[in-house]
């Protein structure tokens, strides 16, 4: 199956350096990197769903090599951490279910960050993040993250501007520290439109089985849409670094979103150059020990 | 699709009461509860694999109702905890991948218990277990568990007999306490034969991509096979209670094992009588708030 010429990482990366990034110029209904119609066929949704399953097999293999490597060499600290951010109803949960769900749950560590507790607020904003980092060898997923702390407090004026503004540098230093500790970060913003959010919130109200997903506070947040978009735009620009870039995934179309996130994961894994580790035992000797063993022994 | 007449729980349950249970009488290659050949067709493996996917859809729905219920009523403490025990190469990891992997990873909490650390050994044997319990609303999976503490210390003579023997009652009391706290336990022993273990360990040695799964200590443990079987038999019998029974899944055939564990999960969920919770907000009022909102607001 032919692949897009440019990597999905290249197509969706927010330029490092903090200037000239325009989130509003990225249309949430586009499908960057999707192969041409001749490859995708007449049903791009079906194509993408099938491709996510195929990519998932490769992700599972990479995840296993990561797990195996860390088992043999825990000091390397190697792990992958997918950070997902989005407006309400932006598709974080669905992405986790459909994309992370293709991997082995045994090697996944998923953490969701809600409104900080009293205890969390009494600590530095990165305190709860550090405690939730994946164990070496695992694929972590952050469902929201430390980026909430440059979004909500800014828009809701919970802290002075100099406080949230200082957090961009703190985050960049923190993420450098993570990289030094073996953590490969993949930061993804799922970008939906204002109209798409309306449709999704309405469908939650229309379906009794989705009522539990609806929060009246979502409408209050929606009323600050433009402020949140501005806060996101600055956070993505200020914290997209060469070592730890941000990626913006147009996410109105769920099938494209899933394909793009799966592709980003695949490319990120490929950049880690993982292999199955060499055994730390003598294979032939172990085979002899095993095969020379007497028949089923009786109870001692 | 027709279902077996008796529930899989009834067929695989270890009788409560602690007497008369004979683990050796359960053959690891049998397939209790599998529908008759007319239903399964000529390829029972393909049938079982397809059925696990179908059951997985239902498990995902039940899991979502559990999650939604706990979100609305966290005080209920309701959660499901699958405890998996087996001899080395018994299939715990594969079961998690294939069966738990059909559920939403966002609602899963998987914990693996290895050899206790120095710190864990300095505490009561249930200390590390209590810390690893799933959050209300989640499906937990224990990959090994507190049952290790009536197996390894007994066979390896790490503690006096009266110490490990007292643990049966401690475990039964602990599990009653869990039930009182909203935890529905599903305890499953994956039962493989001595010969099947040989084949699986040998295949790990024969495949360089599986070397990382092999531990030389597994052969030492294998040499104590009969002692471990006896320790399992007593633990299963002593700790199979009417409130929290043990289930023995014949596990030489992986496809049967996965189908049986998926079926046990389905029946266990069914016994929890979960529903989607009623909304805690006025749906019509929320719909008006949402639809009355002005077009995309400008940045404030």
How many interface pairs between A and B have CB atoms less than 8 angstroms apart?
A: 146
Q: How far apart are CA B222 and CA B235, in angstroms?
A: 19
Long-range pairs for B202-208 at CB < 8 Å and ≥24 separation? B202/A287, B202/A290, B202/A291, B204/B89, B205/A283, B205/A286, B205/A287, B205/A290, B208/A276, B208/A279
Percent of chain A with pLDDT over 70: 96
Per-residue pLDDT tens over the stretch A274-285: 999 999 999 999
Closest CA to A237 of A176, A296, A189: A189
A57: exposed, middle or buried (C-beta count within 10 Å: 0-12, 13-18, 19+)?
A: exposed
Instruction: Report which DSSP code applies to B37.
Output: H
Find chain A residues with C-beta within 8 A of B72's C-beta.
212
Place of tokens 């199979």: B240
Q: Are A137 and A74 in contact (CB under 8 A)?
A: yes
Q: What share of chain B is helix, strand, coil (3-state, %, to 5)?
A: 55, 10, 35
Find chain A residues with C-beta within 8 A of B281's C-beta.
214, 216
A134: exposed, middle or buried (C-beta count within 10 Å: 0-12, 13-18, 19+)?
A: buried
Q: What is the pLDDT of residue B129?
A: 98
Q: What is the pLDDT of residue A293?
A: 86
Beta-carbon separation of A297 and B225 below 8 A? yes
How far away is chain A from the Cα of B12, in angstroms, using its nearest Cα? 25
Q: What is the pLDDT of residue B48?
A: 97
CA angle B264, B266, B271 (to 5 degrees): 95
Dihedral through CA A114, CA A151, CA A95, CA A187, nearest 10? -120
Question: Regarding the domain delimited by A8-292, which CATH topology (the fold level of the hierarchy) does it fall under?
Answer: Rossmann fold (3.40.50)
Beta-carbon separation of A290 and B212 below 8 A? no
Q: What is the pLDDT of residue B4?
A: 47
Q: What is the pLDDT of residue B165?
A: 97
Q: Are A183 and B254 in contact (CB under 8 A)?
A: no
By C-alpha distance, the chain A residue nearest B293 is A223
Q: How far apart are CA A143 and CA A256, in angstroms?
A: 19
Q: Where are the alpha helices (DSSP H) in B109-215?
A: 118-121, 127-130, 152-155, 161-180, 194-206
Helices B194-206 and B216-223: crossing angle, nearest 10°? 170
Higher per-residue pLDDT: B26 or A19: B26
Tell me what the mean pLDDT of segment A46-72 comes to. 97
Q: How far apart are CA B22 and CA A53, in angstroms?
A: 43
Instruction: Collapse the DSSP code of B4 into the 3-class scheme (helix H, G, I; strand E, B; otherwise coil) and give the result.
Output: coil
How far away is chain B from the Cα of A38, in angstroms, using its nearest Cα? 32
Q: What is the pLDDT of residue A27?
A: 97
Beta-carbon separation of B290 and A194 below 8 A? no
Q: Are B273 and B49 in contact (CB under 8 A)?
A: no
Q: How far apart are CA A248 and CA A25, in angstroms?
A: 11
pLDDT tier for residue A186 given thresholds of 50, 70 and 90 = very high
Task: Name which of B106, B144, B204, B285 to mutate to probe chain A: the one with the most chain A Cβ atoms within 10 A of its Cβ.
Answer: B106
By C-alpha distance, the chain B residue nearest A104 is B97
Structure tokens of A236?
């993505």
pLDDT tier for residue A4 given thresholds of 50, 70 and 90 = very low
pLDDT averaged per 10 residues, chain B (length 300):
74 87 96 92 95 98 97 92 98 98 97 96 97 98 98 96 97 98 98 97 97 95 96 97 97 98 98 95 95 71
Q: Domain residue spans in chain B? A: 8-292
Sheet arrangement for strand A79-86: A108-112, A139-143, A79-86, A183-191, A246-250
Q: Are B30 and B12 in contact (CB under 8 A)?
A: no
- The answer to whether the predicted template modeling score (pTM) of the entire model surpasses 0.90 is yes
How far away is chain B from the Cα of A37, in angstroms, using its nearest Cα? 31
Beta-carbon separation of B297 and A143 below 8 A? no
Note the Cα B3 to chain centre separation in Å: 22
Q: What is the pLDDT of residue B174?
A: 98
């Amino acid at each position: 199956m032919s692949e897009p010429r440019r990597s999905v990482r290249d197509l969706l990366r927010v330029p490092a350096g903090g200037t000239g990034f325009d989130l509003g110029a990225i249309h949430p209904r586009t499908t960057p990197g999707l192969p041409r119609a001749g490859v995708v066929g007449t049903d791009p949704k079906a194509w993408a769903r099938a491709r996510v399953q195929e990519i998932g097999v490769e992700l599972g293999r990479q995840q296993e090599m990561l797990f195996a490597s860390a088992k043999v060499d825990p000091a390397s600290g190697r792990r992958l951490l997918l950070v997902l951010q989005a407006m309400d109803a932006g598709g974080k949960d669905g992405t986790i279910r459909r994309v992370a769900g293709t991997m082995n749950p045994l090697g996944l560590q998923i953490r969701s960050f809600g409104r900080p507790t009293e205890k969390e607020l009494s600590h530095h904003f990165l305190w709860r993040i550090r405690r939730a980092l994946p164990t070496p060898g695992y694929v972590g997923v952050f469902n929201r993250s430390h980026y909430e702390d440059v979004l909500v407090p800014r828009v809701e004026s919970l802290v002075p501007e100099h406080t949230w503004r200082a957090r961009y540098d703190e985050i960049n230093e923190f993420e450098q520290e993570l990289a030094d500790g073996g953590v490969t970060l993949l930061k993804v913003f799922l970008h939906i439109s204002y109209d798409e959010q309306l449709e999704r919130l309405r469908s939650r109200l229309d379906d009794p089985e989705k009522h539990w997903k609806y929060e009246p506070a979502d409408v209050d947040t929606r009323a600050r849409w433009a402020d949140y978009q501005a806060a996101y735009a600055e956070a993505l620009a200020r914290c997209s670094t060469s070592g730890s870039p941000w990626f913006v995934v147009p996410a109105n179309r769920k099938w494209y979103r899933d394909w793009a996130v799966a592709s980003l994961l695949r490319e990120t894994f490929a950049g880690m150059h993982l292999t199955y580790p060499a055994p730390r035992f003598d294979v032939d000797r172990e085979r002899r020990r095993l095969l020379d063993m007497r028949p089923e022994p009786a109870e001692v």
